[in-house]
Amino acid sequence: MTQTTAAAPVPAPGMIEPFPRAGRRIEHAYTELELAAGGGTKQQQSALGDPRLLARPWDPATCADPTLRAEVWQWLEKVVAWLNHEYVWDAEAMIPTCWPHHPHLVHELAVLADLRRRAGLALTGDPLEEWHRYALPAFTDRMRARLRQHCQDGGHQPWPALGRHTRHQGEAAQQDRAGTYRADCDRLTAPPGAIGMPGTPGRPNLQIVDGLRIDTRTGEILD
């Protein structure tokens, strides 16, 4: 007769789960920022180089090192799962699984994670109360307003504003904006009253279109 051994019971989840800890490289980036902000000696600050070039985990685009960037994504992955489990009851407030495809969510989640980390390190509960009262609700409201019903149970949907963004980046739109910028700058160097006054030609603001010089203020084709 063989004796079977009962499997060890699976521990029940706790009432709450701790905020995910950042990885070693992220913590190193935070340490460098703290030293640059005045927490280090002059020698340490000098060794860091230009503080403007230091990686800032709350702004992932500044994390140019591939290993650090990968660690930021891993951290945010855990933070999103933690937020959805610990703070969401209504399904409409869930951060969608396709959040990496939404740049606005990536930018905001990185800041939200940074603020929560700082609040957790504070020696009083005031920063965490501010995070609960302001940062988290504001993030949730903005997320729901921007996503609406586009990325719910049906999965990620194509960017609704893609067409308008494409037109915004088109050559015609860029030339139109560039002409407006130049006209505004020209006003800074023109004599008082030279631009916009009837009978006063002022300084023409020229743009080359299809080989022709065009005054962008009047639309006149100049030889």
For the chain, give every domain's residue range.
Answer: 24-156, 165-187+204-222
pLDDT for the residue numbered 199: 44
The rounded distance, in Å, linking the Cα atoms of 215 and 207 is 6
Residue 89 CB neighbour total at 10 angstroms: 6
Supply the pTM of this predicted model: 0.73
Residue 159 CB neighbour total at 10 angstroms: 13
What is the mean pLDDT, run by run of 10 residues, along the chain of 223 residues? 59 82 97 90 87 96 97 97 93 89 95 98 98 97 84 70 80 86 85 56 57 62 61
Contact 95, 84 (CB under 8 A): yes
The rounded distance, in Å, linking the Cα atoms of 209 and 220 is 12
Tokens of 8: 């060890």
pLDDT for the residue numbered 92: 82
The rounded distance, in Å, linking the Cα atoms of 179 and 89 is 51
pLDDT for the residue numbered 171: 87
Please give the torsion angle defined by the CA atoms of residues 145, 151, 152 and 156, in that order, rounded to the nearest 10 degrees. Answer: -170
